[in-house]
Amino acid sequence: MLSRADFIFTIGYDGPAAVVDSKAKKRYSSLSTKELAEKGLFRAAYSSAVWSKDPQELKTVIEIYNNVSGAAIRADTSLERLFGVFPIEVKRSITL
C-alpha cells in the first residue's frame, strides 16, 4: 500500500507503479484533508479522504468544494470520476 503522501500526489501510473509529483508532495504533504481543500487542492483533498476512509473527511471536502465552486455536489455523486481518483492496490511508487 502506498503512503498517504504518495497516494495523495499520484499523477498517474507506470505499469504496477504509481507516479508521484515530488514537488507537490514536498510542499503540501503535511497538510490535513481540510487544509488541502481550503487551499483549493481538491483532487489532493479528495485523495486524502479516500486514503483515510473517514466519511467525515469526505463530507468536509464536499462542503468546501460546494462553497468555493457554487456547485451542489452530494456524497452519492460519482466523485471518483469528478476528481479522477480511484483506490487501487499499488505497492511501489516513482517520484518525478
Average pLDDT score over residue span 32-57:
96
Could you identify the residue written with the cell 511501489?
A: 92
User: DSSP secondary-structure letter at 31?
Assistant: S
At residue 46, the pLDDT reads 95
pTM over 0.85: yes
The grid coordinates listed for 4 are 498517504
CB 14 within 8 A of CB 92: no
Residue 6's CB is within 10 A of a number of other CB atoms, namely 22
Domain that holds residue 57: 4-95
First to last CA, the chain: 19
Query: Which percentage of the chain shows pLDDT scores above 90?
Result: 70
At residue 36, the pLDDT reads 98
**CA 68 from chain center: how many Å?**
17
At residue 41, the pLDDT reads 97
Using the predicted structure, report yes or no on whether residue 80 has a pLDDT greater than 90: no
Work out the pLDDT band at 8, boundaries 50, 70, 90. very high
Q: How many domains does the chain have?
A: 1
Work out the pLDDT band at 59, boundaries 50, 70, 90. very high
Coil/strand/helix, residue 4: helix
CA distances from 79 to 9, 35, 50 (A): 17, 19, 10
Higher per-residue confidence, 86 vs 43: 43
